[in-house]
Amino acid sequence: MTEHAVVIAGGGPTGLMLSAELALAKVDVVVVERRANQELNGSRAKGLSSRTLEMLDQRGVADRFIAAGQKAQVTGFAVTRLDISDFPTRHNYGLGLGQDHIERILAAWVAELKVPVHYGMAVTGFAQDDTGVDVALSGGKSLRAQYLVGCDGGRSLIRKTAGIDFPGWDPTTSNILAEVEMTEKPPMGIHRTAAGTHAFGRREYEIRNGEIIYKDVGPIGVMITEAQVGSTDEPTLRDLSEGLIAACGTDYGVHSPLWISRFTDMSRQAAAYRDRRVLLAGDAAHVHSPIGGLGLNTGVQDAVNLGWKLAQVVKRTSPESLLDTYHAERHPVGARVLRSTMAQVALHRPDERTNAVRDILGELLKMDEVRKRIAAEMSGLGIHYDLGPGHPLLGRRMPDLDLVTADGPLRVFSLLHDARPVLLNLGEPGGGGGITPWRDRVQVVDAEYAGAWELPVLGTVAAPSAVLIRPDGYVAWVGDQTQRGLTDALATWFGPPTVTERTASGQTRRAQMRLAGCKWRECSARGECSVSARRQTPNWRRWWSKCFAVSRLQCFPVIFPIDALFGHSADSGRATMRSMRDRHSAFWALKS
Protein backbone atom coordinates (compact mmCIF):
# COMPACT_ATOMS: atom_id res chain seq x y z
CA MET A 1 0.00 0.00 0.00
CA THR A 2 1.38 3.41 -1.05
CA GLU A 3 1.67 5.91 1.81
CA HIS A 4 1.39 9.69 1.75
CA ALA A 5 1.13 12.33 4.43
CA VAL A 6 -2.10 13.73 2.96
CA VAL A 7 -4.57 12.44 0.39
CA ILE A 8 -6.95 14.98 -1.17
CA ALA A 9 -10.15 13.63 -2.70
CA GLY A 10 -11.13 15.98 -5.51
CA GLY A 11 -9.05 17.96 -7.99
CA GLY A 12 -11.26 21.02 -8.41
CA PRO A 13 -10.15 24.53 -7.38
CA THR A 14 -10.31 23.76 -3.64
CA GLY A 15 -8.36 20.51 -3.87
CA LEU A 16 -5.75 21.97 -6.20
CA MET A 17 -5.24 25.04 -4.01
CA LEU A 18 -4.88 22.88 -0.91
CA SER A 19 -2.35 20.63 -2.62
CA ALA A 20 -0.30 23.70 -3.60
CA GLU A 21 -0.34 25.01 -0.02
CA LEU A 22 0.87 21.65 1.31
CA ALA A 23 3.52 21.33 -1.39
CA LEU A 24 4.91 24.76 -0.52
CA ALA A 25 5.33 23.45 3.03
CA LYS A 26 7.19 20.37 1.70
CA VAL A 27 4.42 17.96 2.70
CA ASP A 28 3.95 14.71 0.78
CA VAL A 29 0.49 15.18 -0.76
CA VAL A 30 -1.42 13.43 -3.54
CA VAL A 31 -4.67 14.41 -5.28
CA VAL A 32 -7.22 11.83 -6.43
CA GLU A 33 -9.61 13.08 -9.14
CA ARG A 34 -12.42 11.04 -10.70
CA ARG A 35 -12.30 12.92 -14.02
CA ALA A 36 -10.03 11.54 -16.72
CA ASN A 37 -8.27 14.91 -16.97
CA GLN A 38 -8.68 18.52 -15.89
CA GLU A 39 -11.29 19.22 -18.59
CA LEU A 40 -14.51 20.58 -17.12
CA ASN A 41 -17.86 19.41 -18.47
CA GLY A 42 -20.27 22.27 -18.00
CA SER A 43 -20.14 25.79 -16.70
CA ARG A 44 -19.38 26.52 -13.09
CA ALA A 45 -17.98 29.63 -11.42
CA LYS A 46 -17.28 32.68 -13.55
CA GLY A 47 -14.63 34.59 -11.65
CA LEU A 48 -12.38 35.37 -8.70
CA SER A 49 -13.09 37.79 -5.89
CA SER A 50 -10.76 40.47 -4.60
CA ARG A 51 -9.65 38.48 -1.55
CA THR A 52 -9.03 35.32 -3.56
CA LEU A 53 -6.83 37.37 -5.92
CA GLU A 54 -4.95 38.67 -2.89
CA MET A 55 -4.34 35.12 -1.69
CA LEU A 56 -3.01 34.11 -5.09
CA ASP A 57 -0.85 37.26 -4.99
CA GLN A 58 0.47 36.12 -1.60
CA ARG A 59 1.79 33.04 -3.40
CA GLY A 60 3.18 35.00 -6.34
CA VAL A 61 0.83 33.54 -8.98
CA ALA A 62 -1.98 36.13 -9.25
CA ASP A 63 -0.59 37.55 -12.49
CA ARG A 64 -1.19 34.22 -14.24
CA PHE A 65 -4.92 34.47 -13.60
CA ILE A 66 -5.16 38.21 -14.25
CA ALA A 67 -3.51 37.76 -17.65
CA ALA A 68 -6.18 35.22 -18.63
CA GLY A 69 -9.20 37.11 -17.27
CA GLN A 70 -10.84 40.51 -17.36
CA LYS A 71 -10.93 42.97 -14.49
CA ALA A 72 -14.33 44.41 -13.68
CA GLN A 73 -16.48 45.74 -10.86
CA VAL A 74 -18.43 42.50 -10.50
CA THR A 75 -19.02 42.55 -6.74
CA GLY A 76 -22.73 42.77 -6.03
CA PHE A 77 -25.63 41.88 -3.78
CA ALA A 78 -28.79 40.51 -5.42
CA VAL A 79 -29.30 42.80 -8.45
CA THR A 80 -27.19 45.72 -7.16
CA ARG A 81 -23.60 46.14 -8.34
CA LEU A 82 -21.18 47.33 -5.65
CA ASP A 83 -18.14 49.34 -6.71
CA ILE A 84 -15.01 48.50 -4.70
CA SER A 85 -12.60 50.65 -6.70
CA ASP A 86 -12.06 52.82 -3.62
CA PHE A 87 -11.11 49.88 -1.38
CA PRO A 88 -7.55 49.86 0.03
CA THR A 89 -6.20 46.88 -1.92
CA ARG A 90 -4.15 46.36 -5.07
CA HIS A 91 -7.00 44.17 -6.32
CA ASN A 92 -9.95 46.51 -5.95
CA TYR A 93 -11.95 44.61 -8.55
CA GLY A 94 -13.20 41.15 -9.43
CA LEU A 95 -11.79 39.02 -12.22
CA GLY A 96 -14.01 37.59 -14.94
CA LEU A 97 -12.56 34.14 -15.61
CA GLY A 98 -14.35 30.82 -16.15
CA GLN A 99 -13.74 27.90 -13.83
CA ASP A 100 -12.27 25.85 -16.65
CA HIS A 101 -9.51 28.46 -17.05
CA ILE A 102 -9.06 28.77 -13.27
CA GLU A 103 -8.57 25.01 -12.93
CA ARG A 104 -6.18 24.89 -15.88
CA ILE A 105 -3.92 27.56 -14.36
CA LEU A 106 -4.07 26.00 -10.90
CA ALA A 107 -3.25 22.57 -12.32
CA ALA A 108 -0.20 23.97 -14.14
CA TRP A 109 1.05 25.56 -10.91
CA VAL A 110 0.47 22.34 -8.97
CA ALA A 111 2.43 20.43 -11.63
CA GLU A 112 5.34 22.85 -11.16
CA LEU A 113 5.22 22.03 -7.43
CA LYS A 114 5.54 18.30 -8.30
CA VAL A 115 2.22 17.29 -6.77
CA PRO A 116 0.99 13.97 -8.22
CA VAL A 117 -2.63 14.05 -9.43
CA HIS A 118 -4.23 10.65 -10.08
CA TYR A 119 -6.86 11.24 -12.76
CA GLY A 120 -9.60 8.73 -13.58
CA MET A 121 -9.57 7.45 -10.03
CA ALA A 122 -12.18 7.95 -7.31
CA VAL A 123 -12.20 7.39 -3.57
CA THR A 124 -14.71 4.61 -2.85
CA GLY A 125 -14.34 4.44 0.92
CA PHE A 126 -11.98 4.81 3.84
CA ALA A 127 -11.31 3.70 7.40
CA GLN A 128 -9.43 5.78 9.92
CA ASP A 129 -7.55 4.77 13.06
CA ASP A 130 -5.36 6.54 15.61
CA THR A 131 -2.40 6.89 13.25
CA GLY A 132 -3.90 7.40 9.81
CA VAL A 133 -6.50 6.65 7.16
CA ASP A 134 -6.74 3.72 4.76
CA VAL A 135 -8.24 5.08 1.54
CA ALA A 136 -9.91 2.71 -0.91
CA LEU A 137 -9.81 3.69 -4.59
CA SER A 138 -11.67 2.57 -7.69
CA GLY A 139 -9.99 -0.33 -9.46
CA GLY A 140 -9.18 -2.05 -6.18
CA LYS A 141 -6.22 0.18 -5.33
CA SER A 142 -5.64 1.79 -1.95
CA LEU A 143 -3.55 4.45 -0.25
CA ARG A 144 -2.51 5.09 3.33
CA ALA A 145 -2.38 8.66 4.63
CA GLN A 146 -1.95 10.51 7.88
CA TYR A 147 -4.89 12.72 6.87
CA LEU A 148 -7.64 12.64 4.25
CA VAL A 149 -9.27 15.84 3.01
CA GLY A 150 -12.61 15.72 1.20
CA CYS A 151 -12.74 18.34 -1.56
CA ASP A 152 -15.18 16.15 -3.50
CA GLY A 153 -18.17 18.44 -3.89
CA GLY A 154 -21.63 18.83 -2.48
CA ARG A 155 -22.42 15.10 -2.70
CA SER A 156 -19.17 14.34 -0.89
CA LEU A 157 -18.57 10.66 -0.27
CA ILE A 158 -15.93 11.64 2.27
CA ARG A 159 -18.47 13.60 4.33
CA LYS A 160 -21.06 10.85 4.13
CA THR A 161 -18.64 8.06 5.03
CA ALA A 162 -17.32 10.07 7.98
CA GLY A 163 -20.91 10.37 9.23
CA ILE A 164 -20.77 14.16 9.39
CA ASP A 165 -24.23 15.74 9.46
CA PHE A 166 -25.16 18.13 6.66
CA PRO A 167 -28.04 20.21 8.02
CA GLY A 168 -29.66 23.07 6.15
CA TRP A 169 -32.55 24.02 3.90
CA ASP A 170 -34.17 22.31 0.93
CA PRO A 171 -34.33 24.15 -2.40
CA THR A 172 -36.99 26.76 -3.17
CA THR A 173 -35.91 27.42 -6.76
CA SER A 174 -34.49 25.31 -9.58
CA ASN A 175 -32.66 26.36 -12.75
CA ILE A 176 -31.49 24.69 -15.93
CA LEU A 177 -28.09 25.70 -17.26
CA ALA A 178 -26.80 24.69 -20.69
CA GLU A 179 -24.58 25.47 -23.67
CA VAL A 180 -26.43 25.02 -26.96
CA GLU A 181 -26.78 26.08 -30.57
CA MET A 182 -29.76 28.22 -31.62
CA THR A 183 -31.14 29.01 -35.06
CA GLU A 184 -32.33 32.41 -33.82
CA LYS A 185 -30.22 34.84 -31.82
CA PRO A 186 -31.67 35.48 -28.34
CA PRO A 187 -31.35 38.79 -26.46
CA MET A 188 -28.06 38.60 -24.56
CA GLY A 189 -27.87 39.43 -20.88
CA ILE A 190 -30.04 38.86 -17.81
CA HIS A 191 -33.82 39.21 -17.97
CA ARG A 192 -36.42 39.09 -15.19
CA THR A 193 -40.07 38.27 -15.79
CA ALA A 194 -43.00 36.97 -13.78
CA ALA A 195 -41.73 33.47 -14.60
CA GLY A 196 -38.37 34.15 -12.96
CA THR A 197 -34.89 35.00 -14.19
CA HIS A 198 -33.41 33.84 -17.49
CA ALA A 199 -30.16 34.76 -19.21
CA PHE A 200 -28.18 34.29 -22.41
CA GLY A 201 -24.46 34.70 -23.03
CA ARG A 202 -21.33 33.29 -24.61
CA ARG A 203 -17.98 32.07 -23.32
CA GLU A 204 -16.11 34.74 -25.25
CA TYR A 205 -16.77 38.31 -24.17
CA GLU A 206 -15.19 41.65 -23.39
CA ILE A 207 -15.92 44.08 -20.58
CA ARG A 208 -16.09 47.68 -21.80
CA ASN A 209 -16.87 50.45 -19.35
CA GLY A 210 -18.42 47.93 -17.01
CA GLU A 211 -20.64 46.42 -19.75
CA ILE A 212 -20.32 42.82 -20.95
CA ILE A 213 -20.04 42.65 -24.75
CA TYR A 214 -20.45 39.08 -26.02
CA LYS A 215 -18.61 37.99 -29.14
CA ASP A 216 -20.74 36.66 -31.95
CA VAL A 217 -19.04 33.26 -32.06
CA GLY A 218 -19.37 29.97 -30.27
CA PRO A 219 -22.25 28.21 -28.51
CA ILE A 220 -24.82 30.13 -26.49
CA GLY A 221 -25.03 29.77 -22.74
CA VAL A 222 -28.59 29.60 -21.39
CA MET A 223 -30.03 29.78 -17.88
CA ILE A 224 -33.76 29.52 -17.13
CA THR A 225 -35.85 29.21 -13.98
CA GLU A 226 -37.90 26.03 -13.83
CA ALA A 227 -41.58 26.14 -12.94
CA GLN A 228 -41.26 23.19 -10.56
CA VAL A 229 -38.72 22.36 -7.86
CA GLY A 230 -37.60 18.92 -6.82
CA SER A 231 -36.88 16.98 -10.01
CA THR A 232 -34.23 14.32 -9.48
CA ASP A 233 -33.83 13.38 -13.17
CA GLU A 234 -31.13 14.79 -15.39
CA PRO A 235 -32.54 17.72 -17.43
CA THR A 236 -33.11 17.15 -21.15
CA LEU A 237 -33.19 19.31 -24.28
CA ARG A 238 -36.98 19.06 -24.18
CA ASP A 239 -37.02 20.41 -20.60
CA LEU A 240 -34.89 23.34 -21.73
CA SER A 241 -37.09 24.02 -24.77
CA GLU A 242 -40.27 24.01 -22.69
CA GLY A 243 -38.69 26.30 -20.13
CA LEU A 244 -37.61 28.77 -22.82
CA ILE A 245 -41.09 28.84 -24.34
CA ALA A 246 -42.64 29.47 -20.91
CA ALA A 247 -40.21 32.31 -20.15
CA CYS A 248 -39.71 33.88 -23.60
CA GLY A 249 -42.53 32.62 -25.80
CA THR A 250 -40.03 30.82 -28.04
CA ASP A 251 -37.14 28.41 -27.70
CA TYR A 252 -35.10 30.25 -30.39
CA GLY A 253 -34.66 27.00 -32.30
CA VAL A 254 -32.53 25.44 -29.57
CA HIS A 255 -30.56 22.34 -30.64
CA SER A 256 -27.25 20.49 -30.34
CA PRO A 257 -26.56 20.90 -26.59
CA LEU A 258 -22.93 20.59 -25.51
CA TRP A 259 -24.12 19.91 -21.97
CA ILE A 260 -27.17 20.48 -19.78
CA SER A 261 -27.26 20.61 -15.99
CA ARG A 262 -29.46 21.76 -13.14
CA PHE A 263 -28.74 23.77 -10.00
CA THR A 264 -30.89 24.83 -7.06
CA ASP A 265 -30.64 27.08 -4.04
CA MET A 266 -30.35 24.18 -1.58
CA SER A 267 -28.31 25.49 1.35
CA ARG A 268 -26.49 23.10 3.66
CA GLN A 269 -23.36 23.15 5.79
CA ALA A 270 -21.37 20.37 7.42
CA ALA A 271 -21.91 20.32 11.17
CA ALA A 272 -18.17 19.75 11.59
CA TYR A 273 -15.32 20.41 9.19
CA ARG A 274 -13.21 17.73 10.86
CA ASP A 275 -13.66 14.22 12.18
CA ARG A 276 -10.35 13.13 13.70
CA ARG A 277 -8.10 12.53 10.65
CA VAL A 278 -10.68 13.45 8.03
CA LEU A 279 -11.36 17.05 7.02
CA LEU A 280 -13.72 18.78 4.60
CA ALA A 281 -13.26 21.85 2.42
CA GLY A 282 -15.11 23.64 -0.35
CA ASP A 283 -18.49 22.32 -1.51
CA ALA A 284 -18.00 19.18 0.57
CA ALA A 285 -18.38 21.47 3.60
CA HIS A 286 -21.01 23.91 2.30
CA VAL A 287 -23.43 24.15 -0.63
CA HIS A 288 -25.64 27.06 -1.60
CA SER A 289 -26.97 28.99 -4.57
CA PRO A 290 -24.23 30.14 -6.98
CA ILE A 291 -25.63 33.66 -6.82
CA GLY A 292 -22.93 36.18 -5.95
CA GLY A 293 -20.11 33.88 -7.10
CA LEU A 294 -19.15 32.94 -3.54
CA GLY A 295 -18.77 29.16 -3.86
CA LEU A 296 -15.41 28.72 -5.58
CA ASN A 297 -13.89 31.66 -3.74
CA THR A 298 -14.99 30.37 -0.34
CA GLY A 299 -13.54 26.95 -1.16
CA VAL A 300 -10.16 28.35 -2.21
CA GLN A 301 -10.05 30.40 0.99
CA ASP A 302 -10.92 27.27 3.01
CA ALA A 303 -7.88 25.63 1.44
CA VAL A 304 -5.53 28.50 2.29
CA ASN A 305 -6.74 28.52 5.91
CA LEU A 306 -6.33 24.75 6.27
CA GLY A 307 -3.12 24.17 4.30
CA TRP A 308 -0.49 25.66 6.60
CA LYS A 309 -2.19 24.29 9.72
CA LEU A 310 -2.34 20.77 8.35
CA ALA A 311 1.28 21.05 7.20
CA GLN A 312 2.46 22.01 10.70
CA VAL A 313 0.55 19.13 12.27
CA VAL A 314 1.85 16.61 9.73
CA LYS A 315 5.41 17.81 10.35
CA ARG A 316 4.76 17.67 14.12
CA THR A 317 5.61 21.32 14.46
CA SER A 318 2.22 22.00 16.08
CA PRO A 319 -0.16 19.85 18.11
CA GLU A 320 -3.16 18.28 16.41
CA SER A 321 -5.43 20.71 18.25
CA LEU A 322 -4.33 23.40 15.77
CA LEU A 323 -6.68 21.73 13.28
CA ASP A 324 -9.62 22.64 15.52
CA THR A 325 -9.02 26.29 14.59
CA TYR A 326 -9.84 25.44 10.97
CA HIS A 327 -13.46 24.68 11.90
CA ALA A 328 -13.56 27.51 14.44
CA GLU A 329 -12.54 30.07 11.81
CA ARG A 330 -14.05 28.79 8.59
CA HIS A 331 -17.40 27.39 9.76
CA PRO A 332 -18.70 30.89 10.70
CA VAL A 333 -17.55 32.18 7.31
CA GLY A 334 -19.44 29.37 5.55
CA ALA A 335 -22.54 30.05 7.65
CA ARG A 336 -22.42 33.69 6.65
CA VAL A 337 -22.13 32.71 2.97
CA LEU A 338 -25.27 30.57 3.28
CA ARG A 339 -27.11 33.44 4.92
CA SER A 340 -26.00 35.88 2.22
CA THR A 341 -26.95 33.65 -0.70
CA MET A 342 -30.35 32.79 0.79
CA ALA A 343 -31.07 36.50 1.19
CA GLN A 344 -30.08 37.19 -2.41
CA VAL A 345 -32.23 34.35 -3.74
CA ALA A 346 -35.19 35.77 -1.81
CA LEU A 347 -34.58 39.18 -3.38
CA HIS A 348 -34.76 37.66 -6.87
CA ARG A 349 -38.38 36.56 -6.48
CA PRO A 350 -40.51 38.21 -9.17
CA ASP A 351 -43.52 39.31 -7.08
CA GLU A 352 -44.30 42.97 -6.41
CA ARG A 353 -43.63 42.79 -2.68
CA THR A 354 -40.11 41.50 -3.31
CA ASN A 355 -39.64 44.19 -5.96
CA ALA A 356 -40.48 46.80 -3.34
CA VAL A 357 -37.95 45.36 -0.87
CA ARG A 358 -35.33 45.15 -3.60
CA ASP A 359 -35.85 48.80 -4.56
CA ILE A 360 -35.49 50.00 -0.97
CA LEU A 361 -32.40 47.86 -0.41
CA GLY A 362 -30.92 49.26 -3.61
CA GLU A 363 -31.33 52.76 -2.21
CA LEU A 364 -29.63 51.74 1.04
CA LEU A 365 -26.72 50.19 -0.86
CA LYS A 366 -26.03 53.57 -2.45
CA MET A 367 -25.07 54.85 1.01
CA ASP A 368 -21.30 54.67 1.44
CA GLU A 369 -21.19 52.89 4.79
CA VAL A 370 -23.73 50.26 3.74
CA ARG A 371 -22.04 49.72 0.37
CA LYS A 372 -18.63 49.26 1.95
CA ARG A 373 -19.85 46.85 4.61
CA ILE A 374 -21.74 44.57 2.21
CA ALA A 375 -19.11 44.83 -0.52
CA ALA A 376 -16.36 43.88 1.95
CA GLU A 377 -18.33 40.76 2.86
CA MET A 378 -19.07 39.79 -0.74
CA SER A 379 -15.46 40.37 -1.87
CA GLY A 380 -13.96 38.50 1.09
CA LEU A 381 -11.99 41.56 2.21
CA GLY A 382 -14.06 41.97 5.37
CA ILE A 383 -13.40 38.52 6.86
CA HIS A 384 -12.46 38.77 10.52
CA TYR A 385 -11.37 35.76 12.57
CA ASP A 386 -12.09 36.12 16.27
CA LEU A 387 -8.63 36.00 17.84
CA GLY A 388 -9.66 37.97 20.90
CA PRO A 389 -9.62 41.66 21.80
CA GLY A 390 -6.89 43.99 20.65
CA HIS A 391 -5.81 46.09 17.69
CA PRO A 392 -8.28 46.23 14.75
CA LEU A 393 -5.73 44.36 12.60
CA LEU A 394 -5.93 41.26 14.82
CA GLY A 395 -7.66 38.44 12.92
CA ARG A 396 -7.95 40.49 9.73
CA ARG A 397 -6.07 40.34 6.43
CA MET A 398 -2.68 42.01 6.40
CA PRO A 399 -2.58 44.90 3.89
CA ASP A 400 -0.05 44.56 1.09
CA LEU A 401 2.11 47.50 2.13
CA ASP A 402 5.09 48.90 0.23
CA LEU A 403 7.92 48.44 2.72
CA VAL A 404 11.41 49.85 2.89
CA THR A 405 14.09 47.44 4.12
CA ALA A 406 17.87 47.39 4.33
CA ASP A 407 17.83 45.25 1.18
CA GLY A 408 15.56 47.62 -0.71
CA PRO A 409 11.82 48.05 -1.25
CA LEU A 410 9.48 45.09 -1.11
CA ARG A 411 5.79 44.28 -0.77
CA VAL A 412 4.33 42.47 2.23
CA PHE A 413 2.78 39.81 0.00
CA SER A 414 6.20 38.94 -1.42
CA LEU A 415 7.16 37.75 2.06
CA LEU A 416 4.40 35.13 1.92
CA HIS A 417 5.32 33.48 -1.38
CA ASP A 418 6.69 30.42 0.41
CA ALA A 419 3.68 30.19 2.76
CA ARG A 420 5.82 30.87 5.85
CA PRO A 421 4.82 33.08 8.80
CA VAL A 422 6.41 36.50 9.16
CA LEU A 423 7.17 38.73 12.12
CA LEU A 424 7.26 42.18 10.58
CA ASN A 425 9.17 44.52 12.88
CA LEU A 426 8.41 48.17 12.13
CA GLY A 427 10.15 49.57 15.19
CA GLU A 428 13.83 49.63 16.08
CA PRO A 429 15.86 47.21 13.93
CA GLY A 430 16.60 43.97 15.75
CA GLY A 431 13.42 44.21 17.80
CA GLY A 432 12.46 40.59 17.12
CA GLY A 433 14.69 39.14 19.83
CA GLY A 434 11.86 37.38 21.66
CA ILE A 435 11.29 35.20 18.62
CA THR A 436 14.63 33.39 18.88
CA PRO A 437 13.18 29.94 19.79
CA TRP A 438 10.93 30.15 16.69
CA ARG A 439 13.43 31.48 14.14
CA ASP A 440 13.55 28.07 12.45
CA ARG A 441 9.90 28.56 11.47
CA VAL A 442 9.15 32.30 11.44
CA GLN A 443 10.83 34.91 9.25
CA VAL A 444 11.81 38.15 10.97
CA VAL A 445 11.85 41.22 8.75
CA ASP A 446 12.92 44.69 9.89
CA ALA A 447 11.20 47.32 7.76
CA GLU A 448 9.82 50.83 7.65
CA TYR A 449 6.45 52.00 6.41
CA ALA A 450 5.52 55.66 6.36
CA GLY A 451 2.03 55.53 4.90
CA ALA A 452 -1.41 55.16 6.46
CA TRP A 453 -2.74 51.82 7.65
CA GLU A 454 -6.15 51.46 6.06
CA LEU A 455 -8.59 48.56 6.22
CA PRO A 456 -11.80 47.99 4.24
CA VAL A 457 -14.86 49.34 6.12
CA LEU A 458 -12.85 50.32 9.22
CA GLY A 459 -10.76 52.94 7.45
CA THR A 460 -7.49 54.21 8.94
CA VAL A 461 -6.19 52.41 12.05
CA ALA A 462 -3.27 53.10 14.38
CA ALA A 463 0.13 52.07 13.04
CA PRO A 464 1.52 49.07 14.96
CA SER A 465 5.16 48.62 15.93
CA ALA A 466 5.14 44.98 14.79
CA VAL A 467 2.77 42.39 13.36
CA LEU A 468 2.88 38.60 13.30
CA ILE A 469 1.45 37.41 9.98
CA ARG A 470 0.19 33.87 9.50
CA PRO A 471 0.92 32.04 6.21
CA ASP A 472 -2.68 32.68 5.09
CA GLY A 473 -2.09 36.42 5.35
CA TYR A 474 -4.11 37.06 8.51
CA VAL A 475 -2.64 38.89 11.50
CA ALA A 476 -2.04 36.73 14.58
CA TRP A 477 -0.51 39.34 16.88
CA VAL A 478 -0.01 43.12 16.89
CA GLY A 479 2.78 44.90 18.78
CA ASP A 480 2.32 48.24 20.52
CA GLN A 481 5.93 49.17 21.36
CA THR A 482 6.11 46.04 23.57
CA GLN A 483 6.27 42.33 22.87
CA ARG A 484 3.48 41.50 25.30
CA GLY A 485 1.67 38.37 24.16
CA LEU A 486 4.09 37.58 21.33
CA THR A 487 5.39 34.31 22.74
CA ASP A 488 1.85 33.12 23.44
CA ALA A 489 0.86 33.90 19.83
CA LEU A 490 3.96 32.15 18.47
CA ALA A 491 3.30 29.03 20.55
CA THR A 492 -0.41 29.02 19.68
CA TRP A 493 0.00 29.30 15.92
CA PHE A 494 3.47 27.97 15.16
CA GLY A 495 4.13 25.37 17.83
CA PRO A 496 6.31 25.07 20.90
CA PRO A 497 9.75 26.72 20.89
CA THR A 498 12.97 25.12 19.74
CA VAL A 499 15.57 24.51 22.45
CA THR A 500 19.26 24.98 21.73
CA GLU A 501 21.77 23.20 23.97
CA ARG A 502 25.55 23.02 23.77
CA THR A 503 27.07 19.66 24.74
CA ALA A 504 30.33 19.06 26.61
CA SER A 505 32.07 18.50 23.29
CA GLY A 506 30.97 21.90 22.07
CA GLN A 507 28.39 20.65 19.58
CA THR A 508 25.02 22.41 19.35
CA ARG A 509 21.86 20.36 19.55
CA ARG A 510 18.44 21.73 18.68
CA ALA A 511 15.08 20.11 19.22
CA GLN A 512 11.55 21.38 19.33
CA MET A 513 9.69 20.66 22.54
CA ARG A 514 6.52 19.45 20.89
CA LEU A 515 3.75 17.80 22.85
CA ALA A 516 0.77 17.31 20.58
CA GLY A 517 -2.62 17.82 22.19
CA CYS A 518 -1.31 18.75 25.65
CA LYS A 519 -4.10 19.79 28.07
CA TRP A 520 -2.04 20.72 31.14
CA ARG A 521 -4.58 23.13 32.62
CA GLU A 522 -7.19 20.37 32.50
CA CYS A 523 -4.92 17.67 33.95
CA SER A 524 -5.98 16.51 37.41
CA ALA A 525 -2.51 15.07 38.10
CA ARG A 526 -0.58 18.27 37.54
CA GLY A 527 -0.17 18.93 41.27
CA GLU A 528 1.59 15.59 41.71
CA CYS A 529 4.31 16.31 39.19
CA SER A 530 7.59 14.67 40.17
CA VAL A 531 10.20 12.91 38.13
CA SER A 532 10.65 10.13 40.68
CA ALA A 533 6.93 9.34 40.73
CA ARG A 534 6.77 9.17 36.98
CA ARG A 535 9.74 6.80 36.86
CA GLN A 536 7.66 4.26 38.77
CA THR A 537 5.08 4.25 35.99
CA PRO A 538 5.47 1.92 32.98
CA ASN A 539 6.09 3.87 29.78
CA TRP A 540 6.54 6.97 31.94
CA ARG A 541 8.06 9.01 29.13
CA ARG A 542 5.07 8.53 26.86
CA TRP A 543 2.70 9.21 29.80
CA TRP A 544 4.56 12.40 30.64
CA SER A 545 4.51 13.65 27.05
CA LYS A 546 0.73 13.37 27.03
CA CYS A 547 0.09 14.95 30.43
CA PHE A 548 2.28 17.98 31.00
CA ALA A 549 2.65 21.24 29.12
CA VAL A 550 6.39 21.09 28.78
CA SER A 551 6.20 23.30 25.72
CA ARG A 552 4.93 26.14 27.93
CA LEU A 553 7.19 25.15 30.84
CA GLN A 554 4.17 25.24 33.13
CA CYS A 555 5.79 22.32 34.95
CA PHE A 556 9.04 23.53 36.55
CA PRO A 557 10.93 20.41 37.70
CA VAL A 558 10.85 19.07 34.16
CA ILE A 559 13.86 16.92 33.35
CA PHE A 560 12.23 14.59 30.87
CA PRO A 561 12.35 16.85 27.79
CA ILE A 562 16.13 17.34 27.84
CA ASP A 563 16.67 13.71 28.78
CA ALA A 564 14.44 12.45 25.98
CA LEU A 565 15.33 14.97 23.30
CA PHE A 566 19.10 14.89 23.75
CA GLY A 567 19.61 11.36 25.02
CA HIS A 568 21.19 12.33 28.38
CA SER A 569 20.98 10.48 31.64
CA ALA A 570 18.68 11.85 34.35
CA ASP A 571 21.60 13.47 36.22
CA SER A 572 22.89 15.04 33.04
CA GLY A 573 19.35 16.16 32.26
CA ARG A 574 19.08 17.94 35.61
CA ALA A 575 22.35 19.73 35.01
CA THR A 576 21.33 20.65 31.50
CA MET A 577 18.00 22.01 32.67
CA ARG A 578 19.67 24.14 35.35
CA SER A 579 22.11 25.43 32.76
CA MET A 580 19.35 26.19 30.29
CA ARG A 581 17.40 27.96 32.96
CA ASP A 582 20.33 30.27 33.56
CA ARG A 583 21.29 30.79 29.92
CA HIS A 584 18.03 31.06 28.01
CA SER A 585 16.14 33.92 29.61
CA ALA A 586 13.84 34.39 26.64
CA PHE A 587 12.99 30.69 26.65
CA TRP A 588 12.20 30.57 30.38
CA ALA A 589 10.09 33.71 30.12
CA LEU A 590 7.51 31.46 28.46
CA LYS A 591 6.43 30.12 31.82
CA SER A 592 4.49 33.30 32.59
Q: What single DSSP character describes residue 448? A: B
| Cα gap 572→531, rounded to integer Å | 14
Complete DSSP assignment for 253-285: TEEEEEEEEEEE--EEE-S-SEETTEEE-GGGT
Q: Residue 557: which pLDDT band, with cuts at 50, 70 and 90?
A: very low
Mean pLDDT, the chain, integer: 85
pLDDT tens profile 288-299: 999 988 999 999
Q: Residue 507: which pLDDT band, with cuts at 50, 70 and 90?
A: low
174-182 and 220-225 strand pairing: antiparallel
- Per-residue confidence (pLDDT) for residue 217, from 0 to 100: 86
Q: Residue 209: which pLDDT band, with cuts at 50, 70 and 90?
A: confident
- Per-residue confidence (pLDDT) for residue 522, from 0 to 100: 40
Q: Residue 40: which pLDDT band, with cuts at 50, 70 and 90?
A: confident
* CATH class of the domain defined by 402-492: alpha beta
Strand partners, 275: 278
pTM of the full predicted structure? 0.84
What's the average model confidence in pLDDT over 211-240?
A: 89
What's the average model confidence in pLDDT over 342-366?
A: 93
- What phi and psi values does residue 543 have, to the nearest 5 degrees? -60, -45
- Per-residue confidence (pLDDT) for residue 473, from 0 to 100: 98
- Domain residue spans of the chain: 2-167+268-379, 174-264, 402-492, 507-591
* CATH numeric code, 174-264: 3.30.70.2450
| Cα gap 138→376, rounded to integer Å | 43
Q: What single DSSP character describes residue 444? A: E
| Cα gap 135→144, rounded to integer Å | 6
Helix, strand or coil, per DSSP, at residue 13: helix
- Per-residue confidence (pLDDT) for residue 42, from 0 to 100: 66
What's the average model confidence in pLDDT over 318-342?
A: 97
Q: Residue 230: which pLDDT band, with cuts at 50, 70 and 90?
A: confident
- Topology of domain 2-167+268-379, CATH: FAD/NAD(P)-binding domain (3.50.50)
